Amino acid sequence: MRTLLLALAASTAAQEIYITTTGYTTQCSQTASPSYRFQPFSYTLNDTVRYAQSIPSPTTTKTYGPAYTDATLHLTTSLSTSTWGNWIPGQTVVSATDTADRYGQAAWSSMWQDADLKNYTTTGLYSTTVSPTAVPSSELVLPPRDYFGPTDCYNFPDDFVFGVAGSAAQIEGAIGLEGRSPSFLENLATGDQPTNYVTNENYFLYKQDIQRLAAMGVEYYSFSIPWTRILPFVLPGSPVNEQGLAHYDDLINTVLDAGMQPVVTMLHFDSPLMFVASDNRSAHPDIGYNNAGYQNETFVDAFVNYAQILLTHYGDRVPIWVTFNEPLLYSYNFQGVDNVVHAHAQVYHFYHDVLHGTGQLGIKFNDNFGVPKDPHNASHVEAANRFQDLQLGFFANPIFLGKQYPASVLETMPGARKLNQSELEYLNNTADFFGIDPYTATVVSPADEGIEACAKDASSSNALFPYCVKQETINIHGWNIGYRSDTYVYITPTYLREYLSYLWNTFRHPIVVSEFGFPVSGESELELSDQLYDSPRSVYYLSYMSEILKSIHEDGVHVLGALAWSFADNWEFGSYESQFGLQVVNRTTQARFYKKSFFELVDFVRGRMDKSG
């Protein structure tokens, strides 16, 4: 018997074991005992040079809806187009004489004069679109691998959407150029914080940025279009900016010509300034500022009109649309959320029922997954459920399920009302996917005085209202919930998998991880070579992608895709210090440099794409 066991042990020790590492599979052979030997030595023993695989040029072009000439027949308002000039504070001389024209140059300039900007004094390096140059092969050599890596054996489905993301306000610059009018974000920075008037100058450098993404092998590029660059006066019936239309038309075509696919967001934080409260600006005569953000009754019609313009101009070429990015952060109150829900549904019906668009249209939310501090404590579970309801169910119940707003919303939010049956039927199933930006997780427990006591009084000064739960980053055993970044993000991959299961089984729609990323602590203070060797970010991305694979294959969750934030370091709402990017950006020259994590993330995904189809 002992002899048999020894034989089995020797056989097991000698078997070949396959371990999946970044982008490929290695074969490891184990023997019962080592065999010592001399052999010629070479300094190149561990040299392996691999290059990023660029996206090939497309051979066909797929369409997702009617062409512009046919699509515009379905617009609910007539279109007129115009052009305006540039606005640079201290340099632009206001000399327009068309003061009688409510949409003329003088009216456009007055919006910038009244915008009360901070630190906007000049423009960047560029004033016209820059022609791209080929990315040299020397920039496409993969970096040394980390010693340990994922060991999964799964592939992504052949229709998995993988790409990178950015948003206009955070990368474009050129805020007062070529007819764009002010947005809320131009007033965000205070004191000596930098504003978004330069950022990455992507408005002029988009061709080079797209070429750099294609050279890395990225298949989907997610970007946003600013409402105020398409409709400087925002409202239905106002003129459309010819230069804005032409710019995004060329941007979309450039993405397609590079062999990639565009993902377009209609509103990514850069809300028109006229919808945001102000005590020291006069409003456009058609609309007043409102302290409640999107509570203003004109918002729904205005957004739907803007969305219809985008869909009729670009809907034939864009496969994936997002109406709102993280609307909880700027809808502020019950009426604001209610307006977003109804505006989104109207856009969905226009796209699918009127234009008969064959692409996908959804909405994306922010929510750092609320996990109960003690999952065995019923009050902590209740707190987590309430947190999810107020963050997600507020929007998602009617849009995805045709269900009433959560009880926690109706019982807590001032001015809350129930949706009637006709509304619920109209809103039901008005999204093709559930977009979520699950950067991290947060530990949730009830307010000290209890949820009910906190939620009872809407006028309460309780800092926890209306959620009435505590949010922490320390678990019940006193440990951080994960490895900390430069900001609020902690590396929490296992909670991501739990979160995806919650979303799929609750809202029952395919999920797009529409943003996720990690700003390495203190990265902006490092030498360039150290910024590029960003192993913590690699750990974040590869662990999250590995958990997405497990979610798909082991939990049966339909994860449609994942979009990394962001394709380059950018303007993070008043700061360049917290760097989420997969590329470093030189703020003086605007030169871009690929980070190690970019290579490893793309390599991980492309090495695990299902070839069976």
Q: For the segment 432-483, what is each residue's pLDDT rounded down to a tens digit?
A: 999 999 999 999 999 999 999 999 876 667 889 899 999 999 999 999 999 9
User: Residue 328 has what pLDDT?
Assistant: 87
Quick one: three-class SS letters along 192-231?
Answer: CCCCCCCCCCHHHHHHHHHHHHHHHCCCEEEEECCHHHHC
Percent of the chain past pLDDT 90, that is, above it, reads: 73
Residue 64 pLDDT > 80 = yes
Report DSSP state, residue 450.
Answer: -
Considering only CA atoms, which of 465, 339, 320, 296 is closest in space to residue 390? 465
Q: Is residue 275 within 8 Å of 288, Cβ to Cβ?
A: no
Residue 211 pLDDT > 60 = yes
Which amino acid appears at position 183 of this protein?
S
- Candidate from 74-83, 243-252, 271-280, 477-486 with smallest mean pLDDT: 271-280
Once rounded to an integer, what is the mean pLDDT over residues 10-35?
A: 48
User: Residue 333 has what pLDDT?
Assistant: 86
d(CA 487, CA 580): 10
Which amino acid appears at position 316 of this protein?
D
- Has residue 466 been placed in a domain? no
In the three-class reduction of DSSP (H, G, I as helix; E, B as strand; rest coil), residue 564 is classed as strand
User: Residue 611 has what pLDDT?
Assistant: 56
Give the pLDDT confidence of 492-527 residue by residue, as tens digits: 999 999 999 999 999 999 999 999 999 999 999 999
User: Residue 379 has what pLDDT?
Assistant: 96
Between 27 and 588, name the one with better pLDDT. Answer: 588
- Has residue 212 been placed in a domain? yes
Residue 1 pLDDT > 80 = no
User: Residue 246 has what pLDDT?
Assistant: 98
Residue 27 pLDDT > 70 = no
Between 315 and 329, name the one with better pLDDT. Answer: 315
Residue 5 pLDDT > 60 = no
Structural tokens at position 507: 């809202």
Once rounded to an integer, what is the mean pLDDT over residues 283-303?
A: 59
Between 288 and 404, name the one with better pLDDT. Answer: 404
User: Residue 11 has what pLDDT?
Assistant: 38
- Has residue 122 been placed in a domain? yes
Chain center to CA of 579: 15
Full-model pTM: 0.92
Residue 17 pLDDT > 50 = no
Residue 153 pLDDT > 70 = yes
Q: Is residue 175 within 8 Å of 220, Cβ to Cβ?
A: no
Looking up residue 139, the CATH number of its domain turns out to be: 3.20.20.80
- Has residue 476 been placed in a domain? no
Which amino acid appears at position 573 of this protein?
F
- Has residue 613 been placed in a domain? no
- Has residue 42 been placed in a domain? no
User: Residue 188 has what pLDDT?
Assistant: 78
Q: Is 265 exposed, middle or buried (0-12, 13-18, 19+ CB in 10 A)?
A: buried
Once rounded to an integer, what is the mean pLDDT over residues 100-108?
A: 94
d(CA 492, CA 369): 10
Once rounded to an integer, what is the mean pLDDT over residues 146-165?
A: 90
Residue 23: CB partners within 8 Å, gap ≥ 6?
603, 604, 606, 607, 608
Q: Is residue 331 within 8 Å of 323, Cβ to Cβ?
A: no
CA atoms within 13 A on the CB side of 507: 31
Mean pLDDT comparison of 37-41, 180-184, 271-275, 292-296, highest-scoring range: 180-184
Q: Are strands 483-484 and 469-472 parallel, antiparallel or unpaired?
A: unpaired
Give the pLDDT confidence of 532-542 residue by residue, as tens digits: 999 999 999 99
- Average pLDDT for the chain: 89
Residue 290 pLDDT > 50 = no
Between 170 and 574, name the one with better pLDDT. Answer: 170
- Candidate from 5-9, 66-70, 351-355 with smallest mean pLDDT: 5-9
In the three-class reduction of DSSP (H, G, I as helix; E, B as strand; rest coil), residue 299 is classed as helix
Residue 6: CB partners within 8 Å, gap ≥ 6?
none
User: Residue 30 has what pLDDT?
Assistant: 54
- Has residue 83 been placed in a domain? yes
Give the range of the structural domain holding residue 128, as residue numbers without chain letter: 68-278+286-366+432-440+481-607
Residue 149 pLDDT > 60 = yes
Q: Are strands 434-437 and 469-472 parallel, antiparallel or unpaired?
A: unpaired
Give the chain's domain count: 1
Cross-strand pairs, 51: 141
- Has residue 519 been placed in a domain? yes
Structural tokens at position 459: 């006028």
Considering only CA atoms, which of 74, 19, 84, 11 is closest in space to residue 241? 84
- Candidate from 27-31, 286-290, 298-302 with smallest mean pLDDT: 286-290
Once rounded to an integer, what is the mean pLDDT over residues 363-374?
A: 93
